[in-house]
Structure 1
Amino acid sequence: MACTKRKCGKCQCETLHSKSILYQILNKEHGNETKWHQQHCSPHCSARSKCCSCLDRRVVLRTPEATCRRASEVLLKTSTFIRNLPSFYHMPWEDQFVLIQQNWVPLFVLGMAQEGVDFDLREVPATSLLKKILLNQSSTAMNELGSSSAGASFTEVQKMKNLLWKFWDLDISAKEYAYLKGIILFNSECHALKCLPYVQSLQQEAQKALMEFISTMLHGSLSRFALILQLLTSLRDIDADAIEELFFRPILGEATLNVLLIETLYIKPDWL
């Protein structure tokens, strides 16, 4: 669904006069004109339909304490799921590391969907750089401010929210989620694996189990199976940096999440 109060096409920043930005700041109209995007788009608004790059604003959680706690619980349940898979620990630790490094993002997002973790956002004010310019601060200070990564990309976060809604619309069962996690974890596209044939067989086994479960529950209909697999492909488009910045930066600082997950699973080699 396209946004209702903004037409895609020529970027507004190309048509505004140079004095317009200053005018908006002084008259406090800029914040009103760029109100939170969710007021004008439905939760199902496609993240792919971007008007222009200047609309990719930064966002943070509206209630970080509660949401970060729930996100941490999802991460813990994800590690517990992996820990309870003997087939995973039968692989060399190098393969375990590769699979976690490449698949923790879709596993985490799938866990968020299963646990029904929704979240509200607030926009990070974007006028501080202009204020620095107006206050004649040094160019070094302005460069530091301009390179700041406070908050996550709205576009990437909205992509995740849209995908969560699609999973919720399907009303996926606990068994289906378990099979989906197996399909994701045993990613046969990781060609650097030492035991790739073994991983491929595990993924095929999980796919077969999911297909049989859906076929039994829906009397032979496989359209749901195809739709779910399509959503799994979309899971791999979710940006890892956006997840770390939004859900874990407030509590982890500069720690890398996939390494933390590996340490949690006690499969960290000495050289990591």
Structure 2
Amino acid sequence: MAAQGPFEMGGKCCSSSVSPQSILYQILNNEERWKTEGNPQCFPLPFPNIGCPCEVNRRVILKIPGVTCNRALEVLLKTITFIRKLPSFFQLPLEDQILLIRQGWEPLFLLGLAQERVDFELLETSVPSLLKAVLLNQSPEGEYKLENSPLGASLAEVQKIKDFLGKFWNADICAKEYAYLKGIVLFNPDLHDLKCHHYVQALQQEAQHTLIEFVSMTHSRSRRRYAWMMESLGFLRTFSPDTIGELFFKPILGDVDLNTLLLETLYTKQDLL
């Protein structure tokens, strides 16, 4: 069997595979040496995973944030427009409306990215090198301080988004299918604290039934296509909202609360659309 590479440790993070006999281990863990030398600039390890080349710890930013973020904002506004055109949504109690939006805007936004074919390129961010900082006796108060580093979004999470977009583009989803899929996502009866659970469930079932009828008329392998779509919708709910905000909105909006922004735009800023 071929020998494992440095980052192929049976799914384990490479930061946990440092040998006690390695130079890196001795430099970072020989506390007695630092005490006896009385080095006034020694400091604890404040961020053990920074610099790890494992995909889960790698961070990325948009290569052209201005263009991509503006397109993302357009998608967000179109998502709000879609909701506004659903009279059945506004027949729900306000509490149910807010709950459905808070729990559903991320998958609706990702469906919008797919429908508008918003593609984007990434750049991997540079992160502080702890080894270099230790060897140069640099304090964490200097350029290696964690909070001064633009970490970006998780590469693993962003890659999931790009994979999803690619699959939907390859499937050639049409506008009507996107509309039915958005209805299925928005009217989610599985949420706790819904006051009109049965009504929301009926609305979702109506969207599902309409999608099945449409797919059966337009595709020969309709059952397989419909099953794949439903599986994809379940996958959509695994994405992290923090990743979406960090990647698509933080570069131009800063640390804005996207839930608040969505609700304010939906209910009070109708002149924007």
Tell me the amino acid that sits aligned with residue 224 of structure 1: R
Name which of structure 1's ranges 5-14 and 164-173 shifts more when overlaid on structure 2: 5-14
- CA shift for structure 1 position 256: 1.2
Larger Rg: 2
How far is 1:126 from its partner? 1.8
Q: Which has the higher contact order (CA 8 A, sep 6+)?
A: 1
Distance in 1 of aligned mates of 2:23 and 2:84: 57
Q: Which residue of 1 aligns with 2:246?
A: 245
1:54 deviates by 3.3
Are residue 18 (structure 1) and residue 23 (structure 2) matched?
Answer: yes
TM-score after normalising by structure 2: 0.77
Instruction: Spell out, residue by residue over 1:92-135, the C-alpha distance to the aligned partner (whole angstroms, 9 max, x if none).
Output: 11111100110111000000000001110000102355554444
Task: For 2:264 and 2:155, locate their aligned partners in 1 and report how far apart those are by CA, in whole Å.
Answer: 30
- Percent sequence identity is 54
What is the CA–CA distance in structure 1 between the aligned matches of 2:172 and 2:76, rounded to whole Å? 21
Residue 222 of structure 1 and its aligned partner are, at CA, apart by 1.1
- Which residue identity does 2:87 align to in structure 1? P
Amino acid paired to 1:71: A
Q: Distance in 2 between matches of 1:73 and 1:109?
A: 12
Q: What residue is the counterpart of 1:159 in the other structure?
A: 160
Matched, 1:256 2:261: no
Structure 1 position 141, deviation (Å): 6.4
CA distance in 2, matches of 1:91, 1:132: 57
Alignment partners' CA distance in 1, 2:97 and 2:114? 24
The structural deviation recorded for 1:221 is: 3.0
Contact 1:132 1:142 in 2 (8 A): no
Work out the CA distance in 1 between the residues paired with 2:241 and 2:222: 34
In the alignment, the residues of structure 2 paired with residue 135 and residue 261 of structure 1 have an alpha-carbon distance, to the nearest angstrom, of 47
- Structure 1 Cα separation of the partners of residues 193 and 268 of structure 2: 18
Partner of 1:9: 9
Structure 2: tracts of 5 or more residues without a match: 28-51
Query: Aligned partners of 1:264, 1:83: CA distance in 2, in Å?
Result: 11
Contact persistence 2:189–2:201 (CA under 8 A): yes
Partner residue, 2:200:
199
Structure 2 residue 76 is the aligned partner of structure 1 residue 71: no
> Is the 2:61–2:153 contact (alpha carbons within 8 Å) kept by the matching residues of 1?
yes
**1:188 to 1:147, Cα distance in 2 relative to 1, 3 A:** farther
| Amino acid aligned to 2:23 | S
Q: Aligned equivalents of 1:267 and 1:94: distance in 2?
A: 16
- The secondary structure found in structure 2 opposite 1:167 is helix
Q: Which residue of 2 aligns with 1:109?
A: 110
Aligned CA-pair RMSD: 2.7
User: The residue matched to 2:267 in structure 1 has which SS?
Assistant: coil
1:213-270 Cα shifts (integer Å, max 9, x gaps):
00111257311000110000000011100000001001111111122111100179xx
Is 2:131 the partner of 1:121?
A: no
Residues 53 and 175 from structure 1, CA distance in 2 versus in 1: closer, same or farther, beyond 3 angstroms? same
TM superposition score normalised by structure 1: 0.78
Alignment of 1:224-235 (within 5 A): 224-235=225-236
TM-superposed CA distance for 1:136, in Å, is 3.4
Match of 2:82 in 1: 81
- What are the ranges of 5 or more consecutive residues in structure 1 without an aligned counterpart? 23-51
Give the drift of 1:183.
0.2
